[in-house]
Structure 1
Amino acid sequence: MGLFIAQAQAAAGFLSIAEDVPLMPGLAESPEAATVFDKPSGRIANTEAKGAVTAAAVRQFYAATLPQLGWQSAGAERYRREAELLRLSFTGRDGALTVRFELLPNQ
């Protein structure tokens, strides 16, 4: 599993909406897609990243790296940590994939 941490550190960095969620190598965040709202119940934020990757590779990367950063699996493409829920969703096709990241208060 240390390999995935090394991959996360070698990634292009972290998401602009969450400094503790790595950006998978091969994905590029779309800066114009990022939105953040701070609410009394917690932040609501989302962004998108695109790349020539497969949905299976994205799932594998985040399933391996997020638990090492304190996130716990909460179902398909969902991760929970403290007061936040992270959801991943996909549009496009393998090789031209868009990954949407949504941070929501964990209720």
Structure 2
Amino acid sequence: MRSGSLIPALRSLASVLTLVLLLAFARTGTAADGFVEGFADLPLMPGLEQIQDASLAFDAASGRIVVAFARGPLSADQIRSFYAETLGQLGWSGAGEDSFQREGERLTLDFTPDGGETLVRFSLLPR
């Protein structure tokens, strides 16, 4: 390959790689891999869409604090049932209505009707 044809070939390859990277990191209304953003292993229930830019997460001296929000056309009871079953499989145990605990942390789900949808707040605090 002559050096004159190498530069256009490299530019073409760079364009393709840039496009692949942009597609790989494109943001949608759901969290990456179906998990709630900010939580390593909290699945986002099918039918819920996470509210982007409404989450916060930070590490405190006593542990991590994470708050995230999602909404969808589901009832609080449907969401409650999904998480009661799913979180138990992930090592969480019940700690009162809509609360779960695991390894020094407490996860609380709060539900608010929002028109024909339900707004869910996921709150993780140290116990």
Could you say which TM-score interval applies, normalised by the shorter chain? 0.7 to 0.9
Q: Tell me which residue corresponds to 1:85.
A: 106
CA distance in 2, matches of 1:63, 1:33: 24
Identity rate of aligned residues, in percent? Answer: 47
Residue 63 (str. 1) matches residue 53 (str. 2): no
Moved over 3 A (4+): none
Q: Tell me which residue corresponds to 1:33.
A: 54
**SS in structure 1 of the partner of residue 119 of structure 2:** strand
Greater strand percent: which structure?
A: 1
Tell which structure's C-alpha radius of gyration is larger.
2
Q: Answer yes or no: is the 8 Å Cα contact 1:49–1:99 preserved in 2.
A: yes
CA distance in 1, matches of 2:115, 2:80: 12
The two structures have a TM-score, normalised by structure 2, of 0.71
**SS in structure 1 of the partner of residue 41 of structure 2:** strand
Question: What is the 5 A alignment of 1:19-30?
Answer: 19-30=40-51
**SS in structure 1 of the partner of residue 49 of structure 2:** strand
The answer for unaligned runs of 5 or more in structure 2 is 1-32
The two structures have a TM-score, normalised by structure 1, of 0.84
- Identify which range, 85-94 or 55-64, moves more after superposition: 85-94
**Equivalent position amino acid for 2:64 in 1:** R
Report the alpha carbon displacement of residue 95 of structure 1 after superposing the two structures with TM. 3.6
The answer for unaligned runs of 5 or more in structure 1 is 1-11
Equivalent residue pairs, number: 95
CA distance in 2, matches of 1:33, 1:90: 15
Q: Which has the higher contact order (CA 8 A, sep 6+)?
A: 1
Q: Tell me which residue corresponds to 1:74.
A: 95
Superposed CA RMSD:
1.3
